[in-house]
Amino acid sequence: MKSVKNLPENVLLVGFPSNGLVGTFSVSYLVHYLEMKQIGEIEHPDLPPTLFVENGEILSPIRIYRKDNIFVIISDLPFDPYRAYEFSESVLQYCKTNDIKKIIIVSGMETINQDPKSPKIYGLVTHQSLEEVLYTNQVSKFLAGSIFGTDAAIISIFRKSKIPALILYAECHPFFPDPEASVLAIITLAKILNVKVDTTDIQKKMERLRIQHRNLMEETVRALQKQQEKPTSRPPQIYR
């Protein structure tokens, strides 16, 4: 019989539309592959009235899933700058209520001269206690750059809390859905969580995913542009 001390710590994965839709693709794929059960929703009066239908089931745009010690909060809607902070506060409160010991955020990073066939992944931590996770899983550390939008909102909130956060940034195309970058994020997440995940299914559907999610990508690009403090003629970038 396992003692309470030996039980795995609760971990929360957070995914939302960002560059390349990496967070949306990777976290939702894990939800389906691990057959996680939906346990709740996050509602906000200022969100546009939107529902999704999948296999005949009506879904809220922001949902909560769980399997064993792994929790997930995933949004299918991009956030404007104001809702980003409110969403981040909701995530922190959920962590406190459910004894979450660490969170992992998955996002996309636009890089100059990125090779689309061999994207890289970088990690950033809010607390030194998670540095070993990067080293153990051979994730290069995000050393310099600028962060804005929902990513910055969550990082700002959690770096002031006692709950450490790990942010995974996969190199991706900023203007188009990027399933290749998402596969790398899925593989890295699986290593960190110590779960077995087969990415064959998403690799077979890459072109279909790119076509199906074009509208969401357009909405995400507009949201990222709004999140930049200063207008620029360059495309929105998370890493530069």
Residue 79 sits in a domain whose CATH number is 3.40.50.10900
> If DSSP codes are grouped into helix, strand and coil, which group holds residue 29?
helix
pLDDT bucket at 82, cuts 50 / 70 / 90: confident
Look at residue 11 and tell me whether its pLDDT is greater than 90.
Answer: yes
204 or 128, higher pLDDT: 128
Range in 22-36, 100-114, 226-240 the model is least confident about: 226-240
Cα(96)–Cα(157) distance, integer angstroms:
13
- Residue ranges making up the domain that contains 103: 4-227
Average the pLDDT over 173-186 and give the result.
Answer: 80
Range in 17-26, 52-61, 144-153 the model is least confident about: 52-61
Cα(41)–Cα(73) distance, integer angstroms:
9
Look at residue 83 and tell me whether its pLDDT is greater than 90.
Answer: no
Q: For residue 232, what pLDDT is reported?
A: 37
Could you tell me if 14 and 65 are in contact, meaning their C-beta atoms sit under 8 angstroms apart?
no
Residue 238 domain-assigned? Answer: no
Residue 93 domain-assigned? Answer: yes
Long-range CB contacts for residues 135-142, cutoff 8 Å, separation at least 24: 137/188, 137/191, 137/192, 139/168, 139/188, 142/167, 142/169, 142/239
Q: For residue 95, what pLDDT is reported?
A: 92
Span 134-176, pLDDT tens digits: 888 888 888 777 777 788 888 888 988 899 999 999 888 777 7
Residue 233 domain-assigned? Answer: no
- The domain tally of the chain equals 1
Residue 222 domain-assigned? Answer: yes
Range in 37-46, 100-109, 227-236 the model is least confident about: 227-236
Mean pLDDT of the chain: 76
Average the pLDDT over 4-13 and give the result.
Answer: 76
